[in-house]
Structure 1
Amino acid sequence: MVRSKSPIQALLIAGAAIALPLAVVPAASVAETAQPRSSAPVSVASGLDNPRQITFKKGVGFLIAEAGVGGKGPCMPGPEGSPVCFGKSGAITRLRGGNLERLVKKLPSLADKDGAGAIGPSDVIPYGDHRIAFTVGLGADPAVREDLPKKGRWMAMLVAANLRGGHQDGELKEIADLGGFEARENPHPTAPDSNPVSVLKKKKKFLVTDAGGNDWLKVHRDRGVKVLAVFPDRSYAGSDEFQAVPTSVVKGPDGAYYISQLTGFPFVMNAAQIYRAVPGEAPTVYASGLTNVTDLGWHNGTLYAVQISDAGLASGGPPIGSLRQVVPGGTTHPAVAAGLFAPYGVAFKGSNAYVTTCAVCPNKGEVMSVPLG
C-alpha cells in the first residue's frame, strides 16, 4: 500500500468505494439528513470541479480553488498505478451574490480519467490591489513535471495573478517553486514529494504548508524559501508509523499559527492533531483526537476544523466528514455539521461557516452554508 502524502491521493488510495458514491450521494442530501431542519447546511453554489480551500474577503467575495478535472493527457501512474491524466482544467473561482465566475482559468490539473479526485489549485488568498496568490498541488516527485506540457510547470508552485475588474490580466507570475525547493532540500527524510496546500500572507512573506514535503515553509520573493518546521512521522494507538501530511495554516487571535494534520496511511481514526506554531520555536500540540483534517479557520475566537472523513480514509466507505468546533487541549470535538460528503475548505461570513464539499467530484462540488448560532 502506498503511504500517501497527499490529501487527495489518500482518497484515491482508500479504495474504489470512495469513488463510486460520487454520482449517487449528492453533498446536499447527505448534509440535510445529518442535521436538524432548523440548522441544516444549505447549498449556496454547485457545479464546482473538485473544490478545495475557500477564502472570504469583504468587497471581493468568496474565492475558491478548483482542482479541475484533469484532461486528455499525457497520463502517468497515479497513487495505485492507475493513470491520472493532465489537463488545463483548474481554476480560481469567485462566488459573489449567488453567482460563480471563474476568474483564472486553464490552470494545471491531474485527475482520474473520469475527472475525479483531481490535484491542481489548492488554496487562494487575495492581497494588495487586485492581486491573488494561490498554490497548485502535485502530490508527486517534482521531477515528473518534466514529462508534462509547459503549463504543468506551475504544479508544486506558489503563483500570483493580477486581477482587474474581476478578470485575469496578463501572465501568471511565479512567487516560489516549492517543488524545486523540495527536490533540492527534501527537509523530510523520505523520497522527494511536493504538494503545496495552504497559503497565508504575512506582510511581505507567504506561509505555506506542503502536505507532500511534510513541512511548513516561509516564502520571500527576494530571499527564497525557508523551512519553519518539519513534521515528523508518528504512530497512534499501536498503529504503523504514518507521515504528518500538514494541510491548513491559519493565524490565531494570539498571534501564533495553527497547522492541521491529515495524517498519511493507514489514516488512523482520531490520530490527527492541530499544532500551535511560532516561527523560531518547535510546534506544540494544541488539540488531538481529530481525523483527517483538511482545513482550519478562526471565527469569533473559536477554532473550527474540517474533517474530510470522520471514519478515516482507509475505512472502506465513502468520505463522510464534518465541520468541528475545536476544544483547546481536548481529545473530543463537537460536530457543528456532520454527514458532509468529502468536505474540504472553510471560510466565514457573518454568523455562518461556508464549507466546500464533494472535494473529489467533477462538476458536483458545492459550497454549503452552515449556521453557527
Structure 2
Amino acid sequence: MNHPRRWLTVLVVAATVVGAVGPASASPVSSGRSAARIDVIATGLDNPRGLTLAPGGLILVTEAGRAGTGPCIPGSAGPEFCLSATGAVTAIQHGHQRRIVTGLPSLGTRNASEVLGPHDIALTSAGALVTLGLGADPALRARLGRAGALIGQIVRLTHYVPRRFADLAAFEAANNPDRGQPGTGPDSNPYGLTPVSGGGVVATDAGGNDLLRIDGKGRISTLAVFPVRPTPGPGGAVIPMHFVPTTVVRGPDGAYYVGQLTGFPFPVGGAKVWRVVPGHAPTVYADGFTNIIDIAFDRRGRLIVLEIAKNGLLSGDPAGALIRVERNGTRTELASTGLVTPTSVAVGGDGSFYVSNKGTLVGVGEVLRIRTPR
C-alpha cells in the first residue's frame, strides 16, 4: 500500500522534470454578468475529465483519450465504441504540464463524438485511484480482450501503472442494483469519485444509476440506488429517464452529495443535486439545474455546480455554466462565457475554481483557472 504523501512527492517530481511543457498560456475571458477572470493553465488535452488538487500547487487531470481502432462493442445508447490505449493523467504545476501516466484504456466512437475512459481521479491512502468508463452491458467487455480488461473498473496507479482495484462492471453484472426499474438492464459506466477514510472511495456508476462504497481492499457495496423517472420525450410520449449520476462529494455535514446529468431527453432544468446519508433514502438537496457534470463545496460550505450544457445536451449549444448556491438557496452564475462542454470543477485554497474545459474534444482540451468576485 502506498503512503499518500510519498506518492504525491513522486508526482511533484514527475510534473516538474525536464521536458515538461510550458508555460501554459493565460487568457483573460469575460464571463458576462459575473466579470470572472478566466486563465488557461493547460492546453492540448484529449477529452479532459476529472480534476483533483494536491499539495504544492499540483493539479491532476484525467484524459479520457481518443477513438481507437478496436476491438469494438456497442454502447448502451447504440453507437459502436472502439478500444484504444490513449487515456492519460496529466500533471500541472507552476505553469508546466506533463502527461505522467499514459496508455490507459479508452473507448471512443469512430467519429470521436463520444469518448469514455479515465473519468475521475482521487488521492487516497491506498494511492491514486482512477475510474475507467465502459458505458455498456458488462457482458460485452470480454469482447475487448486483454487490452480492455480494466475497462469498467477503478484502477490504482502503482508506479504509473494501472492495477485493478475494484471491478464496478462485474459488480453491476452480478447485482444490477436498479433492477426492476423501467428501461433498465445491466449497464455500467464508472464515473465520479470521492475519497473516504481507510483508503477507499465512494463512486458513482453513471450507467448503473447507483452510488457505491469501495473500501480500502476494493470490496464494493451499494450506498444508494437512484430512481428512473417517467418524462415526456420530444414527441410527447412519456419515456423512462435514467438518473445518470456523474459526480459525488462529501459535504460539510458529512453526507454525500450526488450530481445528476439525467439521461435522454436531457430536460432543461431537470437535473438535481441529491443528499445521501448511508442507511436512508436519497433526498433532493437542490433542483432546477441542467445536465450536471460535477459538483463541489467551497471553503464557506456553499455548493458549486458545473453544468456541461446550460441549455441542454439536445440544444446543440456547447456552453456550460458554473453556478454557486448560497446556504439560503440564492444562486449566482459565476461563469459561462468561455466554458465549452466543461467536465469537472475543483476549488482551490484561495477560492479560485479549476475547471476541465472542452472536455468532449480531442487535442484542444483545457484546464482553466477561474477567479470571481467574492
Normalising by structure 2, we get a TM-score of 0.84
Give the conservation status (yes or no) of the 8 Å contact 1:45–1:366: yes
Gaps of 5+ in 1: 1-27
Give the conservation status (yes or no) of the 8 Å contact 1:50–1:117: no
C-alpha distance in 2 between matches for 1:319 and 1:149:
35
- Relative to 1, partners in 2 of residues 1:38 and 1:216: Cα closer, same or farther, differing over 3 Å? closer
Matches within 5 A, 1:282-361: 282-300=281-299, 301-315=301-315, 317-328=316-327, 330=329, 333-339=331-337, 340-349=339-348, 350-361=350-361
C-alpha distance in 2 between matches for 1:203 and 1:33:
40
> In the alignment, residue 297 of structure 1 is paired with which amino acid?
A
Partner of 1:106: 103
C-alpha distance in 1 between matches for 2:77 and 2:192:
25
C-alpha distance in 2 between matches for 1:51 and 1:368:
11
- Relative to 1, partners in 2 of residues 1:329 and 1:177: Cα closer, same or farther, differing over 3 Å? farther
- Over aligned residues, Cα RMSD in angstroms? 2.3
Choose 80-89 or 255-264, whichever is displaced more.
80-89
Give the conservation status (yes or no) of the 8 Å contact 1:288–1:329: no
Partner of 1:256: 255
Q: Is residue 77 of structure 1 aligned with residue 74 of structure 2?
A: yes
C-alpha distance in 2 between matches for 1:290 and 1:42:
26
Quote how far apart the aligned CAs of 1:224 are. 2.0
Matches within 5 A, 1:103-182: 103-128=100-125, 131-163=127-159, 168=160, 171-182=161-172
Give the conservation status (yes or no) of the 8 Å contact 2:44–2:364: yes
Gaps of 5+ in 2: 1-25
Give the conservation status (yes or no) of the 8 Å contact 2:58–2:92: yes
C-alpha distance in 2 between matches for 1:87 and 1:112:
11
CA displacement 1:231-273 (0-9 Å, x = unmatched): 0112468964311111111111111111110011110000111
Give the conservation status (yes or no) of the 8 Å contact 2:210–2:225: yes
- Relative to 1, partners in 2 of residues 1:34 and 1:240: Cα closer, same or farther, differing over 3 Å? farther
Quote how far apart the aligned CAs of 1:77 are. 3.5
Quote how far apart the aligned CAs of 1:283 are. 1.4
Quote how far apart the aligned CAs of 1:115 are. 3.4
C-alpha distance in 2 between matches for 1:355 and 1:109:
22
Give the conservation status (yes or no) of the 8 Å contact 2:104–2:162: no
Give the conservation status (yes or no) of the 8 Å contact 1:50–1:365: yes
Matches within 5 A, 1:181-260: 181-189=171-179, 190-204=184-198, 205-222=200-217, 224-235=219-230, 240-260=239-259
Structure 2 counterpart SS, 1:334: strand
Q: Is residue 55 of structure 1 aligned with residue 52 of structure 2?
A: yes
Give the fraction of aligned pairs with identical amino acids, expressed as a percent: 40
Choose 247-256 or 221-230, whichever is displaced more.
221-230
Partner of 1:277: 276
Give the conservation status (yes or no) of the 8 Å contact 2:34–2:372: no
Choose 183-192 or 81-90, whichever is displaced more.
81-90
Structure 2 counterpart SS, 1:46: strand
CA displacement 1:314-350 (0-9 Å, x = unmatched): 22x13211111124574x7321101311011001222
